Amino acid sequence: MQVLANGGIAAVGALAVAAGAALGWPLMLGSLAASQADTWATEIGQTAAAPPRLITTGRPVPRGTSGAVSWKGTLGGAAGALSMSAVGLAVGLAAGPILAGGIGGLVGMTADSVLGATVQARYRCGACHAEVETARHCRTATQLTRGRRWLTNDMVNVIGSSLGGLIGMAASLV
């Protein structure tokens, strides 16, 4: 599921490129840039000295909380988005699709954080009392505490990568 969530829209973009559609490049680059930005932001943000803050309220939250952001992670995510969109340089794309892909990546990463902080499903484990993102933990069913049951982390990633690709396409038309 995670592979489809992070690469499915990019695969559609790649098929569009193969079919000769010019908008396939910004769709693919924006989608991949959003997924890469989210991954880099998470991994680099984990190394920040200060605790992250919830994107919607600015209050400090534990590391690993969905929707938590830090300056270090955000800058890392921006670097991830731009490095992925720069793949366009390697294949000889014009600056427009490259920039559009980077913009799409940044928007997709931000949307991922906002959705994670607001409507992504969160559960409480009855055995260990941890707050988790899965419907099962410690080999037992968990209790939904907030969000929408259908809006799993994978679905948030689908939305973020889709938005990244669509923004990439839209920005390339401007």
* Token duo for residue 56: 């919607």
Mean pLDDT of 129-150: 94
Residue 129 lies in a domain: no
Rounded to whole angstroms, what are the CA distances from 5 to 16, 21, 84?
Answer: 18, 23, 17
Between CA 173 and CA 137 the distance in angstroms is 46
Residue-level pLDDT at 36: 95
Residue 152 lies in a domain: no
Residue-level pLDDT at 38: 95
Q: b/e string for 33-52 if b means 16 or more Cβ within 10 A?
A: bbbbbbbbbbebbeebeeeb
**Neighbour order of strands in the sheet with 131-132:** 131-132, 122-125, 140-146, 136-137
Q: Is the pLDDT of residue 85 over 90?
A: no
Please tell me the least confidently modeled range out of 23-27, 30-34, 86-90, 126-130: 86-90
What's the total number of domains in the chain?
1
Residue 137 lies in a domain: no
Mean pLDDT of 147-158: 95
Beta partners for residue 146, in sequence order: 122
Residue 53 lies in a domain: yes
Residue 63 lies in a domain: yes
Please check whether residue 144 is in contact with residue 123, taking contact to mean a CB–CB distance below 8 angstroms.
yes
Between CA 82 and CA 115 the distance in angstroms is 22
Residue 31 lies in a domain: yes
Statement: the pTM of the whole predicted model exceeds 0.85: yes
Share of the chain above pLDDT 90, in %: 76
Residue-level pLDDT at 144: 96
Residue-number span of the structural domain to which 113 is assigned: 2-119+161-173
Residue 156 lies in a domain: no
Phi, psi at 148, each rounded to 5°: -105, 130
DSSP symbols for 17-79: HHTT-TTHHHHHHHHHHHHHHHHHHHHHHTT-SSPPEETTT--B--TT-TTEE-HHHHHHHHH
Please check whether residue 164 is in contact with residue 85, taking contact to mean a CB–CB distance below 8 angstroms.
no
Share of the chain above pLDDT 70, in %: 100
Between CA 168 and CA 101 the distance in angstroms is 5
Q: Is the pLDDT of residue 57 over 90?
A: yes
Residue 97 lies in a domain: yes
